[in-house]
Structure 1
Amino acid sequence: MVSQISSELIHKYIDGCHMLHQHGLVDAYGHLSVRLSPSTFLMSRYMAPALVAGKEDLVIYKVEDGEPVDANAPRGFSERYIHSEAYKAYPSITAVVHSHALSVIPFSVSSTPMSACFHMAGFLGQKVPVWDCDTVYTAEDSHDMLVRNNKLGASLARALGDETGQNCKHAVALMRGHGMVVVAESLEMVIFRSIYTAQNAQIQQNAIGIGGAVKLFSAKECVDSAQKTSGGAVKPWPLWTQEVEKSNMYENASNC
């Protein structure tokens, strides 16, 4: 039950939803989740992330099938399978974001890959994978670009993996004509990665627009800069918390 989750985690989760909105990663659409156990995870009910305010807005889901633990839970997101299948595939993942950030979508439909070119986003590597729902759809599926079932969610999760399919290799996968999925081993880091993925995408687009050659990160630069920022959320998190908690836009009614 949601009432049994620590107030600290609930408070942090709600702030995270608000941070994603404040930084333009979500509007009325998009969502954040956090793993509670090997078999369960937490998400908000079907609502805009900026409006998530208290325990009554939260739902616990099963990793196995993406269905709510409580059969009487409020309506959830149709794309919760993005989250459940990522958790199922990779036990190391603790938090997931699905975003429609406008700066990343051009790279999901272009032959130019999104690549790390900004020192805060070395975790992107030299080529962010693009998952194409068209490779999974059957004639019976609704071709609405949404991840509405376990089959599509599992296929998207595989795009994050290595050649063996056993290990999570990528922190981010783009979704053609749709957005991105971002994963991390903590709630703080999934927010960090989401924000700096969108910034890297904007920087790369701006550099391409200037014209001339664009020098992207080498493999070692990706690894070393990612390592340098691996604990990077420690510094900005208090700032981002203050920004959303001092804003009249957001309400966080949880006790902490």
Structure 2
Amino acid sequence: MSASSVPPSAAQEDLVRQAGRALARHGLVHAYGHCSVRLDEGHFLVSPAKPLGLVADGDICTVVPIDGPLPDGVLGEVRIHREIYRRRPEVGGVVRSMPPRVMTLGTARITPKPRHGFGSYFAPQPPLWDDPQLLRNDEQAAALAEQMGRARAIVMRGNGAVTAGASLEEAVVLTWYLEDAARVEFEARAAGIADAGVILGETEVAQRATWSGAILERMWAYLTSEKT
């Protein structure tokens, strides 16, 4: 950690661990996947390099500089987080996930359209990173972040997805929303009603893709509850 960075608080470390376990509990990651929270303009805190469902309260998260090499022991694809944070100062949390329906659609180069409320957050639809390979160099990670642009998510062909939110809580909730949008897309196509289904228009999307009414807080509470 550079001298200019602020050490992560216990609450920030707890948040990263809690987010990781929530993603695992709801089948959005498995052996693979990671999440992070921005600490300041030059650093972020990433989850331990282990299956997120196995992360314990005492496991150490790692501070990663946005400019500079990855610290020892940090997973290679954490470069994706770094490139998103570098380009998007409004982003406070990033999730790299493996949602099952997103994965299935991605193998066919399909990303979900805004057919229902949760899909509206990704309108007109998430971009597709059309490469199934792991991203383990700076050039690939930078190219993915450029293609993602200002979108809340990008689908990686046969390789899961990345979501970015104003907070880590938002990025986790968006991961669940993305998988539900993929579920609706998959089932509409399987039922043969995709072409007859209504796609939300710009006005509908603008009204529906909201966080008012404690929408974010309620979904976060659901995802992080050990009772679910």
Fold similarity call, TM over 0.5:
yes
| RMSD of aligned residue pairs (Cα, Å) | 2.2
Match of 1:120 in 2: 118
Higher relative contact order (CA 8 A, sep 6+): 1
Aligned mate of 2:178, from 176, 192, 197: 197
Conserved? CA contact 1:145–1:178, under 8 Å: yes
Shift of 1:112: 4.2
Match of 2:224 in 1: 241
Conserved? CA contact 2:29–2:52, under 8 Å: yes
Match of 2:163 in 1: 182
Alignment coverage as a number of residue pairs:
223
Aligned mate of 2:84, from 61, 69, 86: 86
Conserved? CA contact 1:124–1:222, under 8 Å: no
TM-score, reference length from structure 1: 0.80
Match of 2:153 in 1: 172
Match of 1:151 in 2: 139
Conserved? CA contact 1:131–1:173, under 8 Å: yes
Shift of 1:230: 8.8
Aligned partner letter, 2:139: K
* Structure 2 segments unaligned to the other structure (5+ residues): none
Alpha-carbon spacing, 1:146–1:22, altered in 2? closer, same or farther (3 Å)? same
Is 2:192 aligned against 1:211?
Answer: yes
Shift of 1:55: 4.9
SS at match of 1:227: coil
Conserved? CA contact 2:93–2:167, under 8 Å: yes
Conserved? CA contact 1:63–1:88, under 8 Å: yes
Aligned partner letter, 2:225: Q
TM-score, reference length from structure 2: 0.89
* Structure 1 segments unaligned to the other structure (5+ residues): 134-143, 162-167, 248-256
Conserved? CA contact 2:16–2:47, under 8 Å: no
Aligned partner letter, 2:140: L
Identity percentage of aligned residues: 27
Aligned partner letter, 2:167: S
